[in-house]
Every structure is written in C-alpha cells, then in structure tokens.
Structure 1
Amino acid sequence: MTQAVHTLEIKGLSKSFGSNKVISDLDLQVRKGEVHALMGENGAGKSTLIKIISGVHRADEGTIRLNGELVAFISPHEAQVGGVATLFQEIQEIPDLTVAENFYAGNEPMKHGMLIDWKALFGGAQAEFDAIGLKIDAKMKMRHLTPSSRKMVEIVRAVHQSGASVIIMDEPTANLNQGEIDALFSMIGVLKNRGISIIYVSHRMREIFQIADRVSVLRDGRLVRTESTDKITEDEIVKLMVGRDLPEFYPKRPPPGDTVRMKVRDLSVDAALDGISFDVRQGEILGIAGLEGSGATMVMKALFGLVKPSRGTVEIDGNLVTITNPRRSIEQGLAYVPEDRKADGLFLNKTVAFNVVASSLRSHFSWLGFVVRRRAVDQTAADVSRRLRIKADGPAAKVGSLSGGNQEKTLGGRWVIGSHSALLLEEPTRGVDIGAKVEIYGEINALAKSGLPVILYSSELLELIGLCDRVVVIRRGKVSAILAGGDITEEAILEKALTN
C-alpha cells in the first residue's frame, strides 16, 4: 500500500552540523505523481533536506523509503541511479564543452562499445530540445548560452537521463523568462502523467499555487504543516514560514518630490541600447522592466560603468557624471547591487565584515592611512547585521557559509552605510524567502524615503508594481513606455515589453 500511495516517505529525519541542529525529527510523504512544494525561510532546512534525499549529506537519524524500499544514498550519483534526480539551484555544467556533451555527460551514446557516437550525441540532444520548442543549438559551447538557456538544458537533461521516481527542483525558474517557465510547467505536467513525483522548492508564491498539488512548510528545521494548495492561503503560508504576522508586504511612503536628482539622456551601447532617456526624482523608486535580451539589464550595467556607453550623458544633482568604469562610478556616489551576487558582488571566501565595508574600506583606515581599524570594521558590520537582520555567526563568519537571503542582505548592507548619490538594484530579492523580502523592501523604501533616487530592475512584475513610482519598459534596446501610478499593471508592462 505504501509503495502505491507514497513514492517517498521520510520519518524522524534529523541532521546537525556541529552543535547546530538544522533538521529535527522531520516526517514527510510525497505522493506518486504529485508536485509537492517545499517552502520556508532561508535557513529553515530546505536545502539540507533535499541534499539528504539526493545523497549529498547523510542523516544523523531517521529513515527514507523510496517506492517502499529503505534507501540511504551516499552520493548524488547513487541517488540518481536509485531513482532520485536533483536540479540544484546552482547550474552544474562544463562551460567549454558543447551543449550536447553536457546534456549526455556520463551517459554518452556509444558505438562498438567504446567509442562515443557523436552523430547520435548531437542528434539526440537536438531532438530533445526541438521536441519542446527550445531554440538551442546542441553544438554550441555552454558558455555562450544565456543563464536561462543553460538552466533549461539542465532541466531537460535531468528529465531525459533519469528513470527517476522523484525529481527535486531547487528554484528551477530562477533566471527563466516567462516563455521558458511555461515550457517547464508543461514538462512538469508530462512528468506527473508518467507518475513521477516532483519536489519543488521555490520562494515564488504564485508559482506554488500554479503548479503544486500540496505544500509543506519548514521552519527552524521542523515541518510545521503540509496542506493541499487549494486549502491554504498565501497569508497562511507566510505566517507559517516566519512564525509571526508580517508588516505590509510593500511598505507605503510619501510620493517622490518634484526635484529631479538624476537625468539620463540618449544612453546608448552599441548593438544593445539606443537612446535611453529618463529622469529620477528625489525619493523616487524607478523600475526598469523588459524581457530577456531587451537591454533592460544593460541599462543598469551601462549606468554603473560595467559596459562603456557609446554615447549619452548622466547628470546627478546637476553635475555631469563620467561613466568609464565601476571604480569611477563609486567615487561619484553610485551604488550598485548586481543580479549575480556570487559572481559579481560578493567575496564568498571573505568575512561578513569585509564584504560589508568593501566599498568603504578607505574610511576604516587609521590616520596613518595603511592600517585597517578592525574594531571599527567589526562594529560597522555588527550594526548593519542588526539593521538588516543578517543571520551569521558574527562579523568573522565567511559569507560563503550563509544562506542566499543572508548573502543578499550582506551585499545590500554594503550600500546602506555611507553617503550615495543614487542606488542601482538588479534583482535584489532573487532567491530569498518571504521574510527576507519584506526586510529588503523595507530597507529600499527607507532609502528612497530619505531622498535617495533608486533605480530597480526586477523580472518579478509584482515587485515592480508594489515598489515603484514609475516603470520604464525596455524593448529591443529602446524605451517602449514609461508607466506611472495606476497604469503600472502586469498587462501593461507585458504589452509594452512585446510591442511599441
């Protein structure tokens, strides 16, 4: 009976790292052919749980049954052979190999028993992509694909290679555009019809109600409730996750002033942007929206000097700003939080304290000019950690050991200290939990309320609608529309992103 009803059964699971108990006496059942969502704040135990199921970690106590049989996988490979495939949040790939070679890695089609059948390898991979309408050349090097295309390759690969009973998807829609999300959900529907169970980990509440049959909420390493998605509300899930009522999700603030703090005129980047112009007023949060490849993120990179504009001007408080490189931009008061915090923003092997003061380190030198005042650095980091509720074992904790939400807050903490002329934010809440989102929104709101002009790029339309006074929609490298007030709707943003 158990085998027929539950593909996966977990009982009494516990796991500690040193004195830190991250999973405590957890029970979980996943039914055959269901999408079972896992939700919880960063640090709730979701990542550890899926790593135990997939063989990355071993449980200290408890049992796992797969199709009624006791299992205790000691590696991801053993888990995959045993029927559990996992799509981790970080893409697993070899950038210098072709898409097809990555697709078949470890499972290449052979001829004569010892030679790779290259025709079958390239043809088979291409056929899989074509079958779901994925416009990817199997012979292209992985490094030349966009992040979203690389993610889709990994998803299709996991589905193709595993004769899995269970597929774990950890934030699978991160970096995907809406068309790719729709393709993913169609794939999930096919898998359900085959009787394959999906464990779906996501912070995106709308996705959970769109795709999941049931949801389990974790808090502090314990399972607090499992419920059908048609019998629970979004507010109930949020309260279960954080253990308290949250303040208003998108905080209110006075309308921006009339004073224009920042002027962007004719900003252009060869083959990417053409004549982008807009103003940002005192205390305004200005949104930037656009489909992938539209040039929306390029606006942010050009403003900060990560790419050099071919023409155009930027003025802040009436002064012409010279955009040549990030160092010059920082010197002129621009603060930038990049989309890829691990690759472009954080020093993962450095401490929380170092990361918080990285852009203001000069102000923490002694009067001699070459000795860092460590007490001052630690005090600054401690103050920022309290303000942003960064969960870490003190200022000396390595940032690489923190959860995604706390990494994001650490990066944001770099820009809440000191004085800035404008703040540029790319996907500031990507991959963070509901509680952390509310805290980040509150901080963005407070900075805008203080008079700081804020430019925010986000692929989450509700985030733009909830936070922004106006939204600039970019299409094919040009401004398609500037929406304000009640005109900022999902329908309007998508319409202007698709048509002029």
Structure 2
Amino acid sequence: MALLEVDGLTVEFPGIRALDAVCFDIRPGEVHALVGENGAGKSTLLKVLGGVHRPSSGEVRLAGAAYRPRRPADALAAGIAVIYQEFNLYPDLTVAENVFSGREPCSPVSRGIRYAEINRRTSELFAVLGVGIDPAATVGELTVSEQQLVEICKALSVDGRIIVMDEPTAALSADEVGQLLDVVRRLREEGRSVVYVSHRLDEVFALADRVTVLRDGRHVRTCDIAETDPDRLVRDMVGRDVESVFHRDEVRGGDVVLELTGVSAGRRLRDLSLVVRAGEVVGVGGIAGAGQPELSQLIFGALAADAGTMTLNGAPFSPRNPGDAMARGIGFLHEDRKAAGNLPDLSIRHNLTISVLHRVRGAITRLLAPARETEVFDDYRRRLDVKATGPDQLIGQLSGGNQQKVLLGRALAPGGRLLLLNEPTRGVDIGAKAEIHRLINQLTADGAAVLMVSSDLPELLGVSDRVYVMAGGEIVAHLTGDDRTEENVVACATTGRRVFSEELSTR
C-alpha cells in the first residue's frame, strides 16, 4: 500500500502548465528517485508536497486521507520534510538552533531556550545518521556537505515520515557524496521514505528502489530500478537518444589566446604557468579548495596578482577589475549561481544583458532599450533552449538548470575569444548538459578558447583537450592525450606532487 498517492495532479501558472495530470506514489520505507530534464516539473511537484504551491486540480492522499497543505508548516506537521537545493538555514545560528528553529523548548520560569536539551537532542539525531557534527557549531562555518546533513537532521527532528531531497549532491565532492548516500541508506533502514531528485544517474541506480520519470510536466513512467538501465532512462527523460553526453569534436589548437607565467596571488595561488590556445577546451581539475575557482577569478580581474605576468592575445594583460576583463572580451561563469551568479529579483533579460550594457543602451539617452535587451534574450533563449514564459520573468522563478543556462548566456554575450567556465553544467539535466557541450564544441570550432573548471571528472576528461590539475594553490600536473584519466587526475590532486604528461607516459 502506498504511503502517499498523487492522482491527476495539475499545476498551472500564468502562461504555463507546470504539471499536467501527473500520477505518482511513494511506498513506506523506499527510496524513490524522481528524474527528468530541467523544466520537467520535478520542482513544482516537490513544492506541492511541501505546501509551497497549491494544485489547480487533482488530489494528493497521505496514508489514505486527503492531503491539502496550505503552507510549509502544514507539510512538516504531516511528517513531510522537503530539503530544497538552496538551503534554508540561518548561518549565524548554531546547528542546534537551526534544527529546532521555531520549535525551541523553553524554560517555564525564565522562558529562555533550554540549550542543553536542544544540543543533546541534536546529537542524538546525528547519531541516527551516523555522523558527528558539533551541535554548538555555527552553521556558517560548516562545509556544504555538513549543512546538507543539518537539513536532514531538521527533517528527522519533526519525525519526517517522507523526506524529499532535491539535488542533494550537486555541490559535493566525491567523498562527501559517498557519505550522503550512506545517510540515505540509514534513513531507509529506519523505515522512512525518501524521494530522491538527482541528475546523476549513477546515484539513482546506487540508491533507488523505484524511479519515476517526468517530461514536460507529464508522467512518463514509474518502474522498479532493476527493470531499467541508464540508456532507457535518458530516452524517457529527453524523448530521444543522447548519443554522447561528454562529446568533444577534434579541433586543432591555434594561436595562444591566454598565457600565464609564474603568476601568484598571496597565499591562494602560487607560481601558476599555463597556456590556452584558440580552438581549445583546457580543463582545470583537483579536489575542492585547491584553487580552481580562484584561478579563473584572477584572470577575470576579481583577484589581484602580486607576481608573474599574463598576456591576452599576445598583449600584456593585468585587469584591475572584472569590467576590464569584459571590455577585453572575456566571458565568465561563476560556480555558485545562488551566491554570486544570478540576481534573483531581476528579470531574465536584465540578468542576461548585464555583461553587455553598452550594446543595449540607447544611442542618445544612454538608457536601457528594452527592445535591444529582448533581442539578446531571444538569441540566447533559442541557442540554449531556456524554458521561460518570457524575458520579463524573474530569474528566481526558473528551475536551477534554466538559471544556469541564462548565466551561461551572460558569459557568452560579450562575444570574446576567451571563456572562463566554472562548473558549466552544475545542476543541469543530462539533455541540457549535452546541449551545452555541443555549444562549447561550436564555440571552439569558431576560434574561441575555453578554460573550464569542473569537479565532474567524466565531464572534465570528456570535454577538455588538455587538463591542468591543481593542489594547494599550485598547478601540479599537465595531462594530455592518453594520460588524461580519472586515476591520474585523482592521484595528482591528492599527492600534490608536480607531474607532467611526459613523466606519466614513461610509467
């Protein structure tokens, strides 16, 4: 018998039907994967379950009774806890204060919070998960994976019967992913039901008992995980075969576009030397914290160099700020779209054109010209297949993957010869990932140079022509040809020893 049943669920917004007569059910004590492309309706379904959205029609039943939450508090009271991709934590409060926020036990005399009790109860909840996090630690000082565990602990604190996780591993390292998957297995052993939303099919097959596929707001199929395979799921999600997600056309490198020689930036980056040529995709890999994002920030003028030299298209290059870099035609995609990427309270067209304001101003008034902004929006909406109601929709209303596409369009808009792409497909579904890689192939075929930072090893090796590996703020390896393997990247990143392709090939 199903614990939760969704029957004919339809959700409509102005100009769009996000869910169309969807049917879905969750059994007690199972991990149920929910997959589909960005814009397939996954987030909308989760928000209905979490009491954020109310359906236009259809019915949801919980343990056989009608379930009609009017706000998130109703969902929590019913034992349904949704952990969204963007955390809902207070960074300046302790772990225990976050876990029991709004439900703090207070002294009947002083009315003060009983901190000893919430710390003890939080420790007991973490013991269920098999992890050790200090309940008195400040949340803002925790790693992303630890914050994810705090969110799960919050779900347990309300005795969640159904725990919904939206892309829980999107920003985690390989080791952190393994720890989180173990936690999900523990939740299943506790008898709780888990709805697991992920674009990473390896996790789906490692965890799920059943899987449901959505496409364009409609239910495609639900089946036991043993009855399907990755290729079949991909066909179900995108409605076609995706021949190769990590596909790289063979392109010959041309003239040197970017060159760094002995560049350092305080303690963050030391003695960096690299070359990026026209027509190349040069990858940058390494474990988290090795300095990969700082490298692209340095080139983009967001981090000042204090030693060494840079050249761009053969001329000395020393940007004082990102404006200098954009003026020289450099496009930049930040790895964290929430913290430093999108402007959630502005429209898609404003988010997209902020890197090319000189192109969308009126010639005389110098004011923004909506018609020119819309032209830019229409161009990149078509090229990147952005699913949106129109240019004036707020970017914060888009799915995570469609937000990523808009920010990629912002990076491409300056039209320069050098693109700095940090985690270009993070939070993007498998079909959109293939589209972004095809776009990268097209750009390099037209002569652009791409420096790509990626923590996804299959992407890093499948899309890049050469790979630099970083450790401790230094470049410790340069891998080319057959030396570009996952084993070599991991070995170089973890040992921190300087290795170059010639050395590897002689082993």
Task: Please indicate the TM-score interval, normalised by the length of the shorter structure.
Answer: over 0.9
Counterpart amino acid of residue 200 in structure 2: R
The alpha-carbon deviation at position 134 of structure 1 amounts to 5.3
Aligned to 2:51, the other structure's residue is in SS state coil
Q: 1:460 aligns with which of 456, 462, 466?
A: 456
Aligned to 2:319, the other structure's residue is in SS state coil
| Cα distance change, pair 330–443 in 1 and its aligned pair in 2 (3 A) | same
Cα deviation 1:71-90 (Å, max 9, x = unaligned): 22222222112111110111
Residue 332 of structure 1 is matched in structure 2 by: 328
Residue 154 of structure 1 is matched in structure 2 by: 151
| Cα distance change, pair 179–249 in 1 and its aligned pair in 2 (3 A) | closer
Residue 208 of structure 1 is matched in structure 2 by: 204
| Cα distance change, pair 123–326 in 1 and its aligned pair in 2 (3 A) | farther
Residue 113 of structure 2 is matched in structure 1 by: 116
Q: 2:142 aligns with which of 128, 140, 145?
A: 145
Which is further off, 105-114 or 321-330?
105-114
| Cα distance change, pair 431–377 in 1 and its aligned pair in 2 (3 A) | same
Q: 1:169 aligns with which of 162, 165, 169?
A: 165
Cα deviation 1:78-114 (Å, max 9, x = unaligned): 2112111110111101122223321321233444573
| Cα distance change, pair 355–19 in 1 and its aligned pair in 2 (3 A) | closer
The alpha-carbon deviation at position 128 of structure 1 amounts to 5.3
The alpha-carbon deviation at position 124 of structure 1 amounts to 4.7
Looking at structure 2, the residues matched to 270 and 136 of structure 1 have their Cα atoms a distance apart, in angstroms, of: 32
| Cα distance change, pair 486–133 in 1 and its aligned pair in 2 (3 A) | farther
Cα deviation 1:394-435 (Å, max 9, x = unaligned): 333332222222221111112333431311011111112122
| Cα distance change, pair 255–220 in 1 and its aligned pair in 2 (3 A) | closer
Residue 437 of structure 2 is matched in structure 1 by: 441
The alpha-carbon deviation at position 269 of structure 1 amounts to 2.7
Aligned to 1:359, the other structure's residue is in SS state helix
Residue 420 of structure 2 is matched in structure 1 by: 424
Q: 1:321, 1:332 within 8 Å by CA — same for their partners in 2?
A: no
Looking at structure 1, the residues matched to 397 and 34 of structure 2 have their Cα atoms a distance apart, in angstroms, of: 21
Counterpart amino acid of residue 154 in structure 1: E
Residue 42 of structure 2 is matched in structure 1 by: 46
Q: 1:364 aligns with which of 360, 366, 381?
A: 360
| Cα distance change, pair 247–273 in 1 and its aligned pair in 2 (3 A) | same
Counterpart amino acid of residue 47 in structure 2: K
Aligned to 1:358, the other structure's residue is in SS state helix
Counterpart amino acid of residue 118 in structure 1: Y
Looking at structure 2, the residues matched to 338 and 89 of structure 1 have their Cα atoms a distance apart, in angstroms, of: 17
Residue 187 of structure 1 is matched in structure 2 by: 183
The alpha-carbon deviation at position 206 of structure 1 amounts to 1.5
Looking at structure 2, the residues matched to 174 and 251 of structure 1 have their Cα atoms a distance apart, in angstroms, of: 21
The alpha-carbon deviation at position 249 of structure 1 amounts to 2.1
Q: 2:246, 2:458 within 8 Å by CA — same for their partners in 1?
A: no
Looking at structure 2, the residues matched to 39 and 452 of structure 1 have their Cα atoms a distance apart, in angstroms, of: 34
Instruction: Give RMSD over aligned pairs.
Output: 2.2
| Cα distance change, pair 471–109 in 1 and its aligned pair in 2 (3 A) | farther
Residue 26 of structure 2 is matched in structure 1 by: 30
The alpha-carbon deviation at position 481 of structure 1 amounts to 1.5
The alpha-carbon deviation at position 440 of structure 1 amounts to 1.1
Residue 267 of structure 2 is matched in structure 1 by: 271
Counterpart amino acid of residue 460 in structure 2: L
Aligned to 1:279, the other structure's residue is in SS state strand
Looking at structure 2, the residues matched to 491 and 18 of structure 1 have their Cα atoms a distance apart, in angstroms, of: 50
Q: 2:54, 2:70 within 8 Å by CA — same for their partners in 1?
A: yes
Residue 103 of structure 2 is matched in structure 1 by: 107
Aligned to 1:225, the other structure's residue is in SS state strand
Q: 2:248, 2:462 within 8 Å by CA — same for their partners in 1?
A: no
Residue 504 of structure 2 is matched in structure 1 by: none
| 1:400-411 equivalences in 2 (<5 Å) | 400-411=396-407
TM value normalised by structure 2: 0.91
Residue 314 of structure 1 is matched in structure 2 by: 310
Residue 219 of structure 1 is matched in structure 2 by: 215
The alpha-carbon deviation at position 285 of structure 1 amounts to 0.8
Which is further off, 224-233 or 69-78?
69-78
Cα deviation 1:244-298 (Å, max 9, x = unaligned): 2335323332233253221112232323222222111221111111222222222
Q: 2:83, 2:166 within 8 Å by CA — same for their partners in 1?
A: yes
| Cα distance change, pair 456–51 in 1 and its aligned pair in 2 (3 A) | same
| Cα distance change, pair 338–135 in 1 and its aligned pair in 2 (3 A) | farther
Aligned to 1:116, the other structure's residue is in SS state coil
Aligned to 1:430, the other structure's residue is in SS state coil
Residue 298 of structure 1 is matched in structure 2 by: 294
Aligned to 1:348, the other structure's residue is in SS state coil
Counterpart amino acid of residue 491 in structure 2: E
Which is further off, 223-232 or 58-67?
58-67
Q: 1:132, 1:183 within 8 Å by CA — same for their partners in 2?
A: no
- Matched residues, number: 495
Residue 84 of structure 1 is matched in structure 2 by: 80
| Cα distance change, pair 20–418 in 1 and its aligned pair in 2 (3 A) | closer
Q: 1:125, 1:138 within 8 Å by CA — same for their partners in 2?
A: yes
Residue 17 of structure 1 is matched in structure 2 by: 13
Looking at structure 2, the residues matched to 149 and 326 of structure 1 have their Cα atoms a distance apart, in angstroms, of: 32
Aligned to 1:343, the other structure's residue is in SS state helix
Counterpart amino acid of residue 342 in structure 2: L
Q: 2:290, 2:471 within 8 Å by CA — same for their partners in 1?
A: yes
Aligned to 1:454, the other structure's residue is in SS state strand
| Cα distance change, pair 418–295 in 1 and its aligned pair in 2 (3 A) | closer
Give the unaligned 5+ runs of structure 1: none
Cα deviation 1:192-236 (Å, max 9, x = unaligned): 112111000111122111111211000122111112222212121
Looking at structure 1, the residues matched to 134 and 268 of structure 2 have their Cα atoms a distance apart, in angstroms, of: 22
Counterpart amino acid of residue 56 in structure 1: V
Looking at structure 2, the residues matched to 490 and 155 of structure 1 have their Cα atoms a distance apart, in angstroms, of: 31
